Structure 1
Amino acid sequence: MKTAVILFSMGGPASLDAVRPFLFRLFMDPAILRVPFIPRLMLAAFITFRRTKEAKKNYQQMGGHSPLLENTQAQAQALENFLNKPNEGAYRCFVGMSYAPPYIRETVAAVKNYAPDRIVLLPLYPQFSTTTSASVLRDAKKELLAQGLGQTPVSTIDNFCEEGGFITATRSLAQEAARRAQTHGEPKFLFSAHGRPLSIVAAGDPYPAQCGQTMEAVLRGWEGEKPTDPVLCYQSRVGGGEWLQPYTLAEMISAAQAKRPIVVVPLAFVCEHSETIVELGLDYKKKALEAGTPFVEIVQTVGVAPVFIEGLAHLVQKSAGNTRENL
């Protein structure tokens, strides 16, 4: 039996010329800007115009492109290798992106050519949100139907916010950073997630609750002295309106002014990209050092950590055995 596993993420521009169309596609997603089509078109164009110059600067600092695709492909290959250990060729992993190539429709076409007996959909967002997981699953199921795969059994993994491998890998990386930070004093631990507008949370989005569950799960198994005052906080606010708080940068500045070493754990990201490399690792870190902290470390994302990949594999194997969803 052949199983196709599709790993999803948002994607990122492959060049500086691709930044503007990437941003426009992002803001045209009705899960992101929840207004009718014509106002959304106008808003997307306006926000893209306002943000392109700054976004290009960010991508220039990463070599002129986003590393998200190559990092996701590495995760897909590691997962495929693990899944096929006992039965070579039983699984094939594919990568599909929402706002940059390879687009979901292209990935579904590749899956169709593979002719699987069953399909597992795996958004690489640890915590479920209507703005990310639900959006990508909506698009994937639409394409599966459009390309004639509606009769193939499909199962979905919609979150892994407390999955053991993900938690263990995150905790291990955070504890390594903690040991380095402790040589400078009592560290301030900040668990940072991508922000969400409060209007989306008020509509029932479970994202902040699941972020809290991830933080609590990481802390439960902490070896040695646990962080005394960890904070769940949020970064990457876009535009006006009220967003989830406290803000990561404000918490970093506050800790820096108290002369505390800072450890930031990016708990809503599974591989490196602009928000970990540039926003946290360059911009926020620089401001915290200028504000007086003796030490800042942005903890690595889980990437291809073996325990994380093994955890994903177990989720896939369990999901593949589930009954078929209706597309």
Structure 2
Amino acid sequence: MQRVAVVLFNLGGPDAPDSVRPFLENLFTDPAILRVPGFVRPWLGRFIAKRRTKAASENYAILGGRSPLLELTEEQAQNLQARLNEGGEAEYRSFIAMRYWHPMSDATARAVREWGPDRVLLLPLYPQFSTTTTGSSIIAWEEAAARAGLAVPTRILCCYHSDPSFAAGTAAAVRKAHDAARAGLAPEVPLRILFSAHGLPESIVKRGDPYQWQVEQTVAAVVGQLGIEGLDHAICYQSRVTPQKWIGPSTEAELERAAHDKAAVLVCPIAFVSEHSETLVELDVEYREEAERLGVPGYFRVPAQNSDPAFIRALRDLVLRTEADARPLCSFAGGRQCPKRFGDCPHARLKARARELA
């Protein structure tokens, strides 16, 4: 029986108060995140991390001093592994590779090599591709696999932004939260869904990163699955961390607009599939307080997927379809999905690399 290692990519998070600073240093010294000349990046990244440590530590203190992301990702990995092994056609084992805190790619690549798979499948827990998330994780994995001497056929699933199963599972969670919020509001109070995604500097998108376009595709797919006539909804972006111009509108701006319109809001974290500080603190605490300060007549939130059975089924189906595809790089629909203007789509980069080698 063939052995398949499924490597789940995620961000990672500090596992103790004294891990916050090194976690932030790993984040802000990543070339995919801090796009400055290499000789400046280590110094500037550590400087930014130092400046942000106090605020980040306060956020993690609300969560008990650590991120819950590893445990939630482990649960997702275990559930996915169980579902994949129901068929018996291959033996699947799930592994986790975090980008900025343990277990990171080097340790995971060694563990995968020791297990001895026949092939590897890389599965991002980022539905939408960005050079700053999935792209960075792929680079880190390839370097780690080379260092570990892991040389087996590898397939990459780059994105599943509007995969029908993923969209349907997300829509079901949104519909449940929408119905509960609607029941708790007076009939005359309008309810607006805010699909909130992590932001990006505008310059990264202008250079060809497809993330914003893919977020829009996710929202369109979910709204289509909801089928609520006249649904009031908007896309917004949270978590700005640098002074440069970021894509918008911001979640703060949408809260201000809702207050002006006297509309309650239901916030859906559309680019996160696990609860962590940006949902449990930023959305549940900081933005809730801001909404109350602004006079928004109701503030509600859709939970992240975590190990929701519909999400795990969608991941299983994505893995099996990618396994059945002969291409080393696949989207949820097989080939490239991004319009040609997005030169940082991984399919475009793979094609450019092939031309260089030809």
TM-score class, shorter: over 0.9
Q: Return the offset for 1:287.
A: 1.0
Residue of structure 2 equivalent to 1:76: 77
Q: Does 1:203 align with 2:203?
A: no
**Structure 2 residue 153 is matched with structure 1 residue 153:** yes
Q: Secondary structure at the match of 2:306?
A: coil
Cα deviation code 1:218-241 (max 9, x no counterpart): 01121443413x111100001111
Q: Does residue 292 of structure 1 match 2:295?
A: yes
Kindly state the Cα deviation for residue 325 of structure 1 after the two structures are TM-superposed. 3.6
SS at match of 2:39: helix
- Whole-Å separation in 2 of the counterparts to 1:323 and 1:109: 26
Change (3 A) 1:15 1:88: farther
Deviations 1:258-316 (A, max 9, x none): 32111111100000000000001100011102211221111101111111111111111
Counterpart position of 2:49: 48
Deviates more, 1:317-326 or 1:90-99: 317-326
Query: Which residue does 1:94 correspond to in 2?
Result: 95
Alignment match, 2:353: none
Deviation at 1:180, TM superposition (A): 2.5
1:98/1:104 contact within 8 Å kept:
yes
Give distance in 2, aligned partners of 1:137 and 1:204: 18
Matched, 1:171 2:171: yes
Structure 2 contact 4–90 (Cα < 8 Å) conserved = no
Counterpart-to-counterpart distance in 2, 1:124 and 1:224: 28
- Name the SS of the counterpart of 1:37 in structure 2: coil
Amino acid at match of 1:163: D
Distance 1:276 1:245 in 2: 18
CA distance in structure 2 between the partners assigned to 1:324 and 1:261 by the alignment = 46
Give the drift of 1:89.
6.9
Secondary structure of 1:38's aligned partner: coil
CA drift of 1:7 comes to 0.1
Percentage of matched positions with identical amino acids: 43
Amino acid in the other structure paired with 2:257: S
The equivalences for 1:5-20 within 5 A come to 5-20=6-21
Bigger Cα displacement from structure 2, 313-322 vs 24-33: 313-322
Residue 263 of structure 1 pairs with residue 266 of structure 2:
yes
Say whether residues 1:193 and 2:197 are aligned partners.
yes
Deviation, 1:102, is 0.5
Tell me if structure 1 keeps the 8 A contact 2:68–2:276: yes
Contact between 1:120 and 1:155, CA under 8 Å: does it hold in 2? yes
Alpha-carbon distance in 1 for matches of 2:6, 2:230? 37
CA distance in 2, matches of 1:175, 1:318: 27
Q: What is the distance in 2 between the residues matched to 1:67 and 1:88?
A: 33
- Do the aligned partners of 1:256 and 1:262 also contact (CA within 8 Å) in 2? no
Q: What's the CA shift for 1:324? A: 6.2
Aligned to 1:316: 319
After superposition, residues 219-238 of structure 1 pair within 5 angstroms as 219-228=223-232, 230-238=233-241
- The amino acid across from 2:274 in the alignment is C
Amino acid at match of 1:261: A
* 2:213 maps to amino acid: A
Could you tell me which runs of 5 or more consecutive residues in structure 2 were left unpaired when the two chains were aligned.
330-349, 351-358
8 A contact 1:155–1:322 mirrored in 2: no
Q: How many pairs are equivalent?
A: 325
Q: CA deviation at 1:4?
A: 0.3
Q: State the SS of the aligned residue for 1:221.
A: helix
The unaligned stretches of length 5 or more in structure 1 are none
Matched residue, 2:113: 112
Do 1:26 and 1:99's aligned partners in 2 also have CA atoms closer than 8 Å? Answer: yes
The letter of the residue matching 1:218 is V
Correspondence for 1:141: 142
- Whether the 8 Å CA contact 2:97–2:104 is kept in 1: the answer is yes
Structure 1, residues 175-214: CA drift from partner, whole Å, max 9, x if none? 1121123242221111110000011001000000000000
Deviating beyond 6 angstroms after TM superposition, the runs of 4 or more aligned structure 1 residues are none
Give, in whole Å, the separation in 2 of the partners of 1:40 and 1:187: 44
Tell me, yes or no, if the aligned pair for 1:154 and 1:324 is still in contact at 8 Å: no
Greater alpha carbon shift after TM alignment, 10-19 vs 38-47: 38-47
Amino acid at match of 1:309: I
Structure 1 position 15, deviation (Å): 0.6
Q: Which segment drifts farther, 114-123 or 178-187? A: 178-187
* Aligned partner of residue 319 in structure 1, secondary structure: helix
Report which stretch shifted further, 104-113 or 251-260: 251-260
Matched, 1:215 2:219: yes
Note closer, same or farther for the CA distance 1:67–1:88 as it changes in structure 2 (3 Å cut): farther
Larger CA deviation: 246-255 vs 4-13? 246-255
Q: Does 1:30 align with 2:31?
A: yes
Cα distance in 1 for residues equivalent to 2:179 and 2:318: 31
On the 8 A contact 2:167/2:225 being kept in 1, the answer is: no
Mapped to 1, the partners of 2:86 and 2:50 lie a distance apart of: 48
